[in-house]
Amino acid sequence: MNALLQSFNSQMSAVVENVRQSLVQLANGHHGTGAGTIWHPEGLILTNAHVVSGRPAARGYAAIDRTLQVTLWDGRTYPAQLLACDQKLDLAALAIKATELPTIELGNARALKAGAWVIAIGHPWGIVGAASAGAVIDVGFPLELPRYPGELIQVGLQLRPGHSGGPLVDSDGRLVGINTMIAGPQVGLAIPINVVKHFLKENLGKAA
């Protein structure tokens, strides 16, 4: 049993270390910061609408600040252009002038089962690249957010301010969602990858 736990710990540590390279920090010009996830090596980044606006999504603000800066894992900083934003889905797509960026292999959120192990990575309270792990509760329409226009991944882990916009990955390090908000003391919500793909296709004409 001890050998199995050590092997699992090593695997999870390797997953986190690899995923961190595709995690970015986002500053919105209002002293607000959050996370983002590199989606395409040519500078396409996904995050939450409330991260780029600097205001909580739950309050329904629509104003978007365009003074956006992205800091990569290696410390390079770029101004970012806002390409698309959907307040209802709480998704935003950004572009920076960078190439050959590391991305995360895409997974399948619809294949997640209750109890499956996942990891959320972000910058909670300014702790860069912190990881929080937990088990999937459900993938579907959350009862606590009846007005949300899509499915969400409900996970038994602690998301905190700064996790928003960061990646949620499965135990193999595949991207299954974008962290979005807290639903309870030990319940986090993430936007499934299939919803993200639809958002990109609707707004940018491409899903990858």
Q: Which residues are catalytic?
A: 50, 90, 164
Task: Identify the DSSP state of 9.
Answer: H
Q: Return the ∠ at Cα 120 (arms to 116 and 125), rounded to 5°.
A: 150
Rounded to whole angstroms, how far apart are CA atoms 72 and 12? 22
Please answer whether residues 182 and 90 qualify as being in contact, where contact means their C-beta atoms are separated by less than 8 angstroms.
no
End-to-end CA distance of the chain: 40
Place of tokens 């949620």: 168
Helix, strand or coil, per DSSP, at residue 179: strand
Length of the chain: 208
Class of residue 69 by CB neighbours under 10 A (exposed 0-12, middle 13-18, buried 19+): middle
CA 202 to chain centre: 19
